[in-house]
Amino acid sequence: MFKIKIMTIGLIGVGLIGGSMALKLKNKNFVDKVLAFDISEAHLLTAKDLKIIDEITTFENLVQDSDLIIIALPVEATKVVLPEVLDRISDKTVVMDVGSTKQEIINIVEQHPNRKNFVASHPMWGTENSGPKAATSEAFSNRAAVICNHEDSYDFAVELVKQVYENLEMNILYMDADKHDVHTAYISHISHITSYALANTVLEKEREEDTIFQLASSGFSSTVRLAKSHPEMWVPIFKQNKENVLDVLNEHISQLKKFKSALEKENFDFLEELIINANRIRGILDK
């Protein structure tokens, strides 16, 4: 397949994900110019100073002047912005999003006349940090990138997005949006809920903040790291993927009750069984 050289990328949302993508694509010489629009002037100015973007522009000019438009916004904002972008694009412009949920976003534009110019995708990477200062060009290497419902997009649009992710050095998976949302509930969304809940548990029971700091092990710190993630990002994700998150949350609560019961009944053989069974995850993650 021939290599596409994009002349201009339009980045809507200059935060961790969008900024990291722009940095890497510029470093790879896959793009000549990055235009940017964001409701945060501070983010735009910071991104310009850090050379993440080349030019700050208006929403209308960005849509008009870009070959590829990357919508890197929280998922609820994407539902609003995506139709407005598709209303204004030319027939050759490609639009992609990077949201953590897919089905509701796809549903919003299902009947849009320019639906086939849009490619729904999700680069499976993120941190608890946010904003352009957190962007890094090596963020995505060897991570998974999911392209959803590719058959509903133009072949040239899918090929372009595919090459974006190849230049980000990601491993590409093709998946139906509903299956994506189920899988991400299990491997990502529940992790954040668990981290938030553990942080709240410790804050409720341990009132001496200095003690938390002094005694915190690497295990505790890594477990609650996600609790530093911002609610403006994660509340919309939980909202859009509510049914799948509730399903996995119910299973998680069931598993916690097993540990609680084993301790209450001093059934340490069962407790050992639970831990041994959990150890099976090592074989999956270490492949």
In this prediction the pTM is: 0.82
Both tokens of 110, joined, read 């299902």
**pLDDT computed for residue 207 by the predictor:** 65
Q: Give phi and psi for 118, each to the nearest 5.
A: -100, 135
d(CA 181, CA 103): 7
What digits encode the pLDDT tens for the residues 113-165?
999 999 999 998 766 677 899 888 888 999 999 999 999 999 999 999 999 99
Helices (H), the chain: 16-27, 41-49, 59-65, 75-88, 103-108, 155-167, 177-184, 190-205, 209-215, 218-224, 231-240, 242-264, 268-279, 281-285
